Amino acid sequence: MVSASRRLGEFLVDRKVLSRDTLEVMLDREAKEGTPLPRLLAAEGLVSEKDLMAAVAHQVGMPFVDLEEASIDPS
């Protein structure tokens, strides 16, 4: 069974946000340190918060909406 962290990481690799080598290093750190992958990626500045949220949304089957780019009907 593929872990949730690996699925999240693979999504980021597929989107070319993260390299495969970096993903493997961060997954090893996650296993050794017990720190969740998203927290490691953010702490190291490897992935933006926006990219992480898009990956998590994809993982749970929800669309990602960037409210900074979305137009909202004021009525």
What's the pLDDT tens digit per position in 17-30? 999 999 999 999 99
Q: What is the mean pLDDT of residues 58-67?
A: 86
- How much is the mean pLDDT over the chain? 90
The model's pTM: 0.80
Q: Between 71 and 38, where is the model more confident?
A: 38
Q: What is the pLDDT of residue 30?
A: 96
C-alpha closest to that of 43 among 20, 26, 31, 55: 26
44 backbone dihedrals φ, ψ, rounded to 5°: -85, -5
What backbone phi and psi angles, to 5 degrees, belong to 13? Answer: -65, -45
Among the residues of 1-75, which ranges form H helices?
Answer: 4-14, 20-33, 37-43, 49-59
| pLDDT confidence of residue 34 | 94
Give mean pLDDT, residues 38-58: 92
* Token pair for 12: 């980021």
